[in-house]
A and B are shown apart, each in its own frame.
Chain A
Amino acid sequence: MKHIITLFRKDLLLEMRQQYSFYGILLYVASTIFVLYLAMGQPEDEVWNGLFWMIQLFVCVNAVAKSFLQESRGRLLYFYSIAGARDFILSKLLFNALLMAVLSITSWILFSLLLGNPVQNGLRFMGVAMFGGLGLSLVFTFLSAIAARAQQNAAMMAILGFPLIIPQILLMMKLANTAFSHVIQQGLLQIVLLLAGMDILVIALAVILFPFLWKD
């Protein structure tokens, strides 16, 4: 536990010291949404929701990709000697989850500024957006570990990840749709539980499988 916190703080500290990458990803979010605004204007609710999750997906790939791709071989070896593989992956998962939560809120604010705000139940939508961001960040963190070991770029992550994430994205959209009106839909709890179960599954698999990726 202590190792995880330390590694997490190291990532946070790196982010503070080299702010260009964080601002880079913020600018990425802003410019994508701006382009979207120029192309679409203020779309209808369903289109808005679809666009929002697609942007989340691309932001996640780009934000999370660097978590392993940025680490050099030598540095990875160093981390390996001072901390276990499990602590390392857990700290990365934690860090990326936090990063994605910040980015989710940012993109929601930008969306509502530029593309209009059809959301009726703001609190619920924020919860769904952060929950969705968490799911995305977990899956893509592990995939970026795979892509980094295969010495591939972010494009490989997209190939590996997009088919895997489709079911989650579809469920997220369904969940987010409920925040657009005050009508209560049935079966929501089932979807939330399913998604939470998948998040736990991803964490468990990452903890089990990451040591195999690490060793050479």
Chain B
Amino acid sequence: MSEERGLSGSRTAENLKTAFTEEAALAARARAFAELAEHEGEQALAAAFRDLSEGGETLIQGSLDFLRSCADPDSGIAIAGARANLRSLIHTEARLGERVYAQMARAARDEGFPDAASWFETLEKLKASRLRRLRELGDV
């Protein structure tokens, strides 16, 4: 009989994070593709894509169900109540807003895509605004 241990730090936990992220991205793509298919008059495909997107929510949340027993897939903070979860979201918004989007904007500008750079900068500013709001909630 195998020794009983938690998910934290396991390869399975990493795989659950991957499943969570991949399914979230797939559902978002399917939702966008459904809109495009509907515009093209491909009603049957639009309905199938929409079903895929809506069904995806169960798959996304299913992986998160497992991760609840260890930690948030991005921040690593335990999923243990609204206050802890708020800290997790602040962690991600700060990571994206204070580092990631600024780097992406610089890269886009260097490669000659000023509109994409402006998009990343717009996201960076939104993240700063959201962070302010979330931190205020944390203060409360």
Question: Do A and B assemble together?
Answer: no
A residues at B contact (CB < 8 Å): none
B binding-site residues for A, Cβ under 8 Å: none
